[in-house]
Structures are given as C-alpha cells and as structure tokens.
Amino acid sequence: MKETLPSALFALLTRDLTIGRRIGGAASLGIVFFLCLVAITPFAIGPDLALLSRIGPAILWIAALLATLLGLDRLFQAEAEDGSLDLLLSSSAPLELIVLVKCLAHWLLTGLPLVVASPLFGLMLGLDTHALAGVFVSLLVGTPALTLIGAIGAALTVSLRRGGLLLAILILPLSIPVLIFGVAAASRAAGFAMPFLILCGLALMGLALAPFAAAAALRHSIE
Amino acid sequence: MPNYANPAEFLRLARIAVPVTAALTGVLFAVGLYLALFDSPPDYQQGETVRIMYLHVPSAWMAMFVYIVMCSAALGTLVWRHPLADAAQKAAAPLGAGFTFLCLMTGSLWGKPMWGTWWVWDARLTSVFVLFLIYLGIIALWQVVEDQGKAARLVAIFTLVGGVNIPIIKFSVDWWNTLHQSASVFRLGGPTIAMSMLWPLLIMALAYTSLFLTLHMMAIRNEILRRRIKRLAMIAAAEGEAAPVAGIFPEPAE
C-alpha cells in the first residue's frame, strides 16, 4: 500500500509527539527550565515588584528564547544517530515539509507549553492583565518563529558531536528581530498593533524560508 | 581568457597581482593617511577627534562589503560547487571579522570623547555589533566541521541565511533604537560632508578595499596551498603505510 503524502506527514507528527511524550518529558522539562529562569531573575535584580513588572515581559521573552533554544539541538540529532534521518531524506515526501512537521512537533512539545504557562509566571512578576495578554499573544506568534529559525541551526549542527553551544552562537544573532518586536508588542512600548504585525510578518517569513534553508543544510550535513 | 576559477590559474594570477595590489595599498594608505591626519581641517565641533572618522567609516564599509563578497562566494559554493569559492569564503571570514572589530574599536575610541562613554547602544553600533557576532559564528562553524568541503557548503547556507537576515536585523535595531531614543545622539555636523573631508575619506576607502583584496588573495593562496599539503600528506601516509610495517616485520631471510 502506498502512503499518501498527508498521511505520511501525519504519521511523522504523531511519531515525534509520542517519542517526545515518552522519552525525556521534553514539555515538562522545558517548563521547569522556564520557571527556573523566571525564578532566578528576581534574585539578580531584587524583589522590587514595580521594577519587575516593568521589565517582566522582557524577562519572560528571554526565558522563552533560552528555553526554546535548549531543546533545539536534539531536533534532528536523535534521528541522525539512529539512522532514521537517512530514511526521511530518501523518502518521497519533500524534505522541506518533513522539516516543517518536525518543527511543528517540536513547537507543540516545547513552545506551546511555555506560551500556556507564561500568564501564570507573569503573575509572579507582577504583570497586569494587559501585559499578561500581550506576553501570551506575542509568545504565541513568536515562539514558532524562534523554533523555525532554530531549525536552521539544528540542521547545520546535526552532524557535530557537541553542536549545542555552536547552535546558540549561530541562532541568537538571527533571533534578535523576533526578540525586539516580541518584547515591544508585549510591553506595548510603541502600541501593540504595529510591532505585533511585524512579529507576525517575521513568523510568516520564517515559515516560508526556514524549511528550505534547514532542508538544504540537512542534505549537505548527511550526504 | 584563462579560467581564473581554476585554483592553479588563480595561483599564477596571484603571483603577479598580489605584489601590485600590495604596492597600491601602500601608496593609497600613505596618501590617505597624510591627507586624513595632516592635510584635512579639524571639525568645528569635534576638533581633532574627527580624524578617527577616516579609519572608522571605511572599516564599517568594508565590514559590509566583505559580507557581500562572502555571499557571492557562498553562491559559487552552492550553485557551482567550486573549490575556489570555498577557499574565497573561508579566507574572507576572518578578514570581515577583523574589519568589523576595527570598526567597533575605533567607534568606541571615538565615542569616548564625543559621547563621554566607551559604548552606547546606538542603532548603528548595535547592528555592527550583531554583524560581528554573525562573523564569529561563521568562523566557529568553519572550525568545528572537519570535512572542509562539507564545512564550505554548511557555511554557505548560513552565510546566505545571515545575508537575508542582516537587513531585517538592521531595520529592527533602528526601530528599537528610536523606541528607546536617548536624549543626545551625535550626528555628523550637517547633511553633507565638506569636500576637504570627503577626499581623504574616499582615498582611505580605496586603501581599505585594496588592502582587503591583497589580504584576501594571499589568504586564498594559503588555503589552496594548505589543502595541497594536506592532500600530499595523506597520499604520503597512504603510501608510507606499507614501508614501516615491512621494516618492523622483515621477511625472514632464507
């Protein structure tokens, strides 16, 4: 029986989600890391709630950026190690779509839980309702963009034994625009609509371009 | 017309071109520095410190120019799989990082008397700083991937991704900076620069470009030679494998 393209991609998605749920508890670990980052910031800055609520959106965004980055080095590496990446590369499904599905699975496991948890952590930083909503919505749009940009770095470093640090070095400069407009939308420093729309634009651009760059990098890494 | 993309042809060309561009670089720097340091007027506001500009502005131009050179070499690597494009990419990265660092250093030295501080999160300084980080990432990627052919293709992809991103980063940083506008932002005296300052600046820009061409050709040559040595060493190792073994375990004499 020949697999159709949508069913093959759906099978890949459920496979990734199942693996993510069973092994390592990526979702819960990501949230705990996010929580730790939020928890240590007041120790560095001081318990002044007025100051914390002012810089709260920035803290949440940096924590989300680092938490997203943390799991990214494993995005393709487990598959490269056990050989299933070769199968994915030689499958009839376009590699760009496979990359996109893997990014979606990764975001559902690590990005989405952060977004859902962010209002709770925002309360601990003394954010008001407006700011909570701003952080929630901007992270909802921004974390997929971070995952997509990160996928390029993950594909570039997939064949390296210790690619994690290099991945961060490569990806952090490229994620500066997302950070700038994400924090600006969340903190409403220049109104909400304008930075938020640019953030959406960055996310869409990542959606359109990153799978191609990541797929090209995977092909050159594995050959 | 000889095919300059061929490494052997390139080595022949470089043997003639490097001394010429090196001499040109020397002359241009001598003229440019004389004009910049002695024969141009001090600024009516900034006094003598304006002379830092003649070192600072061309290095900022070169920081961007070298990235464009790297992007074209990256296309050569990905589209034509050209070994010389690989070498050109690899040779350009440290040079670009060097010019960017020079730009940041001179900017910082200029900032101290002008702004009263070594560093400000000014839009232009910040985007050059991010460019510097991207250069460092590229150099790091070159260093960690062992197979140089593969490294060239991976770096090429990252360079092009960075090339798409750099204008976006520049735009974002400009926007971010107007959002957090500080009270006093230094601007060049007026909308136009005086001719007496423009000439030394242009000559210095030519000197920097010529310096880059010289160093780039030398670095490409070194890269080609380095690969040749590596290949010869591997051939020697492969051939030499039998000899020591035969020496250690000689055939028993009948």
Q: How many CA atoms lie within 13 A of B131 on its CB side?
A: 34
For B243-252, write each residue's pLDDT tens digit.
Answer: 444 444 445 5
The token duo for A101 is: 């599905």
Q: Within a domain: residue B250?
A: no
On average, the pLDDT of chain A sits at 87
Q: Please report the residues numbered 178 through 237 in chain B whose beta carbons come closer than 8 angstroms to any beta carbon of chain A.
A: 179
* Rounded CA separation B193/B205 (Å): 15
> Nearest 5°: phi and psi at B253?
-75, 135
Greatest mean pLDDT range, A16-25, A31-40, B113-122: A31-40
Mean pLDDT value of segment A11-16: 86
Question: Residue B47 gets which letter from DSSP?
Answer: B
Can you give the pLDDT at residue B3? 55
Task: State the residue range of the domain holding A14.
Answer: 5-221
Q: How many CA atoms lie within 13 A of B167 on its CB side?
A: 4
- Residues from chain A that touch B171, judged by Cβ atoms under 8 A, are 177
Q: Within a domain: residue B134?
A: yes
Mean pLDDT value of segment A150-154: 93
For B89-107, write each residue's pLDDT tens digit.
Answer: 999 999 999 999 999 998 8
What's the complex ipTM?
Answer: 0.88
Assign A31 a pLDDT band (cuts: 50, 70, 90): confident
Quick check: A23 pLDDT over 80? no
Question: What count of residues does chain A have?
Answer: 223
Task: State the residue range of the domain holding B92.
Answer: 3-177+193-224
Contacts of B172 (CB under 8 A, 6+ apart): A176, A177, A180, A181
Can you give the pLDDT at residue A61? 92
In chain A, what percentage of residues exceed pLDDT 70? Answer: 96
- Residues from chain B that touch A172, judged by Cβ atoms under 8 A, are 133
Of B137, B145, B164, the CB nearest to A173: B137
pTM of the model: 0.87
Best to test chain B binding among A220, A222, A223 (most B CBs inside 10 Å): A220
For A158-191, write each residue's pLDDT tens digit.
Answer: 888 777 788 999 999 999 999 999 998 988 776 7
The token duo for A32 is: 């705990």
The count of domains in chain B is 1
Assign A1 a pLDDT band (cuts: 50, 70, 90): very low
* H or E, element range at A82: helix A77-82
Can you give the pLDDT at residue A42? 87
Contact A173 B157 (CB under 8 A): no
Q: Which residue stretches of B81-194 are H helix?
A: 83-115, 123-144, 148-179
Low-confidence ranges of chain B (pLDDT < 70): 1-5, 44-45, 180-194, 241-254
The token duo for A37 is: 């980052």
* Rounded CA separation A122/A59 (Å): 9
> Within an 8 Å CB–CB cutoff, is residue B164 touching chain A?
yes
- Residues from chain A that touch B150, judged by Cβ atoms under 8 A, are 159, 220-221, 223
- In 3D, which of B208, B212, B204, B206 has the Cα closest to residue B51? B204
DSSP string, B189-249: SSSS--HHHHHHHHHHHHHHHHHHHHHHHHHHHHHHHHHHHHHHHHHHHHHHTHHHHHHHS
The count of domains in chain A is 1
- Residues from chain B that touch A215, judged by Cβ atoms under 8 A, are none
Can you give the pLDDT at residue A82? 84
Can you give the pLDDT at residue B125? 83
Can you give the pLDDT at residue B44? 66
* Rounded CA separation B110/B117 (Å): 9
Of A156, A177, A220, the CB nearest to B172: A177
On average, the pLDDT of chain B sits at 83
Q: Within a domain: residue B114?
A: yes
